[in-house]
């Protein structure tokens, strides 16, 4: 919690660094705005019944942000659960003193030891996994370990099917090692109105699975199926809990919902050299761009090793310099990009915004045919994170 105790100042996250004001940092950095995070949480909460629990998805470094700091803030705001994909992500939260229950979406048998040691609550998605976990727990005389049953309602990624119900119930009846805390499923296209019938069918199938499972259990686990877009589009299916990731980080998968949210991350880099090019010059590896008139380029301290994929090159992606669009020229290099600043007065040391409230990750992602999720989670650990809580 000490990371949050000094408002107004950026605080160190993974590695210590000088507490300069973020605005003056002369290096590439990702601002993480905890006020925007709190705003998004309250917007999402306001769409729900007061008694509905909220699971905050903080997998993949909280979508490229900074898992521990984000989770600490959300824990202080009162979220009921966290969700991570893999066990090391959950143990990292425990190492940062997170006490809130953690749902582990993709438990691997190789992670059982850490799952038990860090009280991670596994999603049980196959009969095989159920058997393996029960065997592991029984060998260690562990009882009542909290688990969640995952139903495959149509995504066909992970999950039990309706026909597995008798076997699931039989295995659960024969052991004291686990306790089913919740039953859940995941929508395949909750953001897409064209798939409305499919989503509703998933919700109906989920109901059937829940009824079938609870007939054979002597208690009623809680249930949940909605992700961020589900919260906006299918609030009637909120049951006892929702699971939100992208919305917390400020993206709603729809311009109407984006407008309610605030991007938490702002990625800033700096100009390190300016080139005035004659017609016929070339820019970057493989002469990726060749000028047919005079052009001024700025070289920026960010590249594909930082998560700005080569797909953004060749004019597809752009940055903002002094509020103006500067398209990427030629190919993205590992550590740098060159942008067109012919019509933008600027100099060495000036900042360029790569994504943030002024240039949403969803827009940049779309320019290269991808989605905000991929762009945000690609932002590499080389980029310094600076937390802002004021
Ligand atoms: C990643 C994930 C979520 C979060 O989805 P968002 O669209 O980011 O809200 C919820 N549930 C499951 C099972 C997930 O894998």
56-103 per-position pLDDT tens digit: 999 999 999 999 999 999 999 999 999 999 999 999 999 999 999 999
Q: Is 224 in the pocket of ligand 1 (CB under 6 A)?
A: no
Q: Are residues 361 and 217 in the same domain?
A: no
Number of domains in the chain: 2
Alpha-carbon distance 189 to 155, whole Å?
Answer: 9
Q: Are residues 81 and 176 in the same domain?
A: yes
Domain boundary among 258, 274, 289: 258
Q: Are residues 384 and 251 in the same domain?
A: no
> CA distances (Å), 200 to each of 55, 186, 231, 236, in order?
22, 12, 14, 11
Catalytic residue among 150, 176, 251, 285: 285
Q: Are residues 236 and 374 in the same domain?
A: no
Q: Is the pLDDT of residue 2 over 50?
A: no
Instruction: For residue 220, give every residue at least 6 positions away whose Cβ sits within 8 Å of its Cβ, in sequence order, or none.
Output: 214
User: Is the residue at 26 inside a domain?
Assistant: no
Q: Residues 201-209: what's their mean pLDDT?
A: 98
**CATH code, 148:** 3.20.20.10
Q: Is 351 in the pocket of ligand 1 (CB under 6 A)?
A: no
Q: 323 alpha carbon to ligand 1 midpoint, in Å?
A: 33
Question: Cα dihedral angle (138, 108, 169, 119), rounded to 10 degrees?
Answer: 60
User: Is the residue at 35 inside a domain?
Assistant: no
Q: Is 125 exposed, middle or buried (0-12, 13-18, 19+ CB in 10 A)?
A: buried
Q: Are residues 252 and 113 in the same domain?
A: yes
Q: Would you call 41 a catalytic residue per the annotation?
A: no
Q: Residue 243 pairs with which residues in a beta bridge?
A: 55
Q: What percent of the chain has pLDDT over 70?
A: 94
Mutation test residue for ligand 1: of 47, 63, 83, 191, the one with most atoms within 8 Å of CB: 83
Write down the pLDDT at residue 25: 87
Q: 54 alpha carbon to ligand 1 midpoint, in Å?
A: 12
Residue 154 · residue 201 · CB < 8 Å: yes
Long-range contacts, stretch 368-371, CB < 8 angstroms, 24+ apart = 368/309, 368/311, 368/312, 368/316, 368/317, 369/311, 370/309, 370/311
13-43 burial by CB neighbour count: b if 16+ within 10 A, else e? beeebeeeebeebeebbbbbbbebbbbbbeb
Model confidence at 190, in pLDDT bands (50, 70, 90)?
Answer: very high
Residue 230 · residue 187 · CB < 8 Å: yes
Instruction: For residue 67, give every residue at least 6 positions away whose Cβ sits within 8 Å of its Cβ, in sequence order, or none.
Output: 58, 61, 89, 92, 93
Q: Is the pLDDT of residue 1 over 50?
A: no
Domain boundary among 228, 258, 288: 258
Q: Is 186 in the pocket of ligand 1 (CB under 6 A)?
A: yes
Q: Are residues 219 and 296 in the same domain?
A: no
Q: 225 alpha carbon to ligand 1 midpoint, in Å?
A: 10
Q: Name the pTM for this structure.
A: 0.93
Other Cβ atoms closer than 10 A to 158: 16
Q: State the residue range of the domain holding 302.
A: 265-388
User: Is the residue at 10 inside a domain?
Assistant: no
User: Tokens 């006020």 correspond to what residue?
Assistant: 35
Mutation test residue for ligand 1: of 37, 159, 186, 365, the one with most atoms within 8 Å of CB: 186
Q: Is the pLDDT of residue 332 over 50?
A: yes
> CA distances (Å), 160 to each of 84, 180, 182, 185, in order?
19, 14, 14, 9
Write down the pLDDT at residue 390: 79
Least confident of 4-13, 30-39, 145-154: 4-13
Q: Is 248 in the pocket of ligand 1 (CB under 6 A)?
A: no
Write down the pLDDT at residue 23: 55
Q: Is the pLDDT of residue 3 over 50?
A: no
Q: Are residues 276 and 207 in the same domain?
A: no
Residues in the chain: 390
User: Is the residue at 165 inside a domain?
Assistant: yes
Alpha-carbon distance 25 to 18, whole Å?
Answer: 9
Q: Are residues 122 and 62 in the same domain?
A: yes
Q: Is 246 in the pocket of ligand 1 (CB under 6 A)?
A: yes
User: Is the residue at 38 inside a domain?
Assistant: no
Q: Residues 277-286: what's their mean pLDDT?
A: 97
Q: 275 alpha carbon to ligand 1 midpoint, in Å?
A: 44
Residue 181 · residue 147 · CB < 8 Å: yes
Write down the pLDDT at residue 19: 41
Alpha-carbon distance 219 to 208, whole Å?
Answer: 17
Q: Residue 56 pairs with which residues in a beta bridge?
A: 82, 244
Residue 286 backbone zone (phi > 0: left; psi -120 to 50: alpha; other: beta):
left
> CA distances (Å), 313 to each of 146, 277, 339, 352, in order?
47, 19, 9, 16
User: Is the residue at 76 inside a domain?
Assistant: yes
Q: Is 388 in the pocket of ligand 1 (CB under 6 A)?
A: no
Q: Are residues 196 and 283 in the same domain?
A: no
Domain boundary among 203, 224, 258: 258
Q: Residues 7-18: what's their mean pLDDT?
A: 43
> CA distances (Å), 58 to each of 12, 70, 137, 320, in order?
19, 8, 27, 28
Q: 212 alpha carbon to ligand 1 midpoint, in Å?
A: 25
Mutation test residue for ligand 1: of 55, 226, 245, the one with most atoms within 8 Å of CB: 245
Catalytic residue among 59, 73, 150, 384: 59
**CATH code, 367:** 2.40.37.10
Q: Residues 139-146: what's their mean pLDDT?
A: 98
Q: Would you call 285 a catalytic residue per the annotation?
A: yes
User: Is the residue at 39 inside a domain?
Assistant: no
Q: Are residues 153 and 60 in the same domain?
A: yes
Tokens standing for 111? 């992670």
Q: Residues 335-360: what's their mean pLDDT?
A: 98
Q: Are residues 279 and 140 in the same domain?
A: no
Q: Are residues 242 and 314 in the same domain?
A: no
Mutation test residue for ligand 1: of 43, 85, 243, the one with most atoms within 8 Å of CB: 243
Write down the pLDDT at residue 198: 98
- The rounded Cα 280 to chain-centroid distance in angstroms is 43
State which ligand 1 atom lies nearest to the alpha carbon of 105.
Answer: 13
User: Is the residue at 305 inside a domain?
Assistant: yes
Q: Residues 185-210: what's their mean pLDDT?
A: 98
Nearest CA to ligand 1 atom 4: 245
Residue 244 · residue 272 · CB < 8 Å: no
Q: Is 111 in the pocket of ligand 1 (CB under 6 A)?
A: no
Other Cβ atoms closer than 10 A to 346: 18
Q: 164 alpha carbon to ligand 1 midpoint, in Å?
A: 24
Other Cβ atoms closer than 10 A to 355: 26
């Amino acid at each position: 919690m000490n990371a949050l105790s000094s408002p107004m100042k950026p605080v160190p996250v993974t590695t210590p660094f000088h507490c300069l004001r973020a605005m003056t940092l002369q290096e590439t950095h990702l601002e993480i705005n905890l006020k925007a995070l709190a705003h998004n949480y309250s917007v999402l909460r306001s769409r729900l019944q007061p008694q509905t629990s909220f699971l905050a998805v903080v997998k993949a470094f909280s979508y490229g942000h900074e898992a521990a700091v984000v989770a600490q803030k959300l824990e202080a705001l009162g979220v009921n659960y966290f969700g991570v994909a893999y066990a090391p992500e959950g143990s990292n939260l425990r190492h940062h003193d997170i006490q809130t229950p953690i749902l582990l979406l993709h438990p691997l048998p190789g992670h059982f030891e850490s799952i038990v040691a860090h009280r991670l609550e596994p999603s049980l998605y196959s009969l095989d996994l159920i058997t393996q976990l029960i065997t592991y727990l029984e060998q260690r005389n562990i009882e009542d370990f909290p688990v969640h049953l995952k139903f495959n309602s149509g995504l066909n990624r992970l999950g039990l099917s309706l026909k597995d119900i008798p076997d699931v119930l039989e295995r659960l009846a024969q052991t004291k090692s686990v306790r089913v805390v919740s039953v859940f499923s995941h929508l395949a296209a909750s953001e897409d109105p064209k798939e409305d019938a499919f989503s509703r069918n998933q919700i109906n199938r989920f109901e059937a699975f829940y009824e079938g499972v609870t007939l054979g259990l002597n208690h009623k686990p809680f249930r949940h199926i909605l992700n961020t877009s589900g919260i906006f589009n299918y609030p009637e299916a909120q049951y006892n809990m929702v699971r939100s990731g992208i919305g917390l980080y400020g993206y709603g998968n729809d311009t109407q919902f984006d407008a309610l949210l605030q991007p938490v991350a702002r990625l800033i880099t700096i100009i390190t050299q300016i080139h005035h090019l004659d017609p016929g010059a070339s820019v970057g590896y493989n002469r990726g761009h060749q000028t047919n008139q005079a052009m001024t380029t700025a070289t920026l301290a960010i590249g594909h090793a930082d998560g700005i994929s080569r797909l953004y090159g060749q004019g597809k992606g752009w940055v903002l310099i002094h509020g103006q669009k500067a398209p990427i020229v030629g190919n993205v290099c590992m550590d740098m990009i060159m942008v067109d600043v012919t019509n933008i007065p600027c100099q060495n040391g000036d900042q360029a915004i790569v994504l943030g409230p002024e240039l949403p990750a969803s827009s940049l992602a779309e320019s290269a045919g991808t989605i905000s999720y991929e762009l945000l989670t690609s932002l590499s650990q080389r980029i310094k994170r600076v937390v802002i809580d004021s």
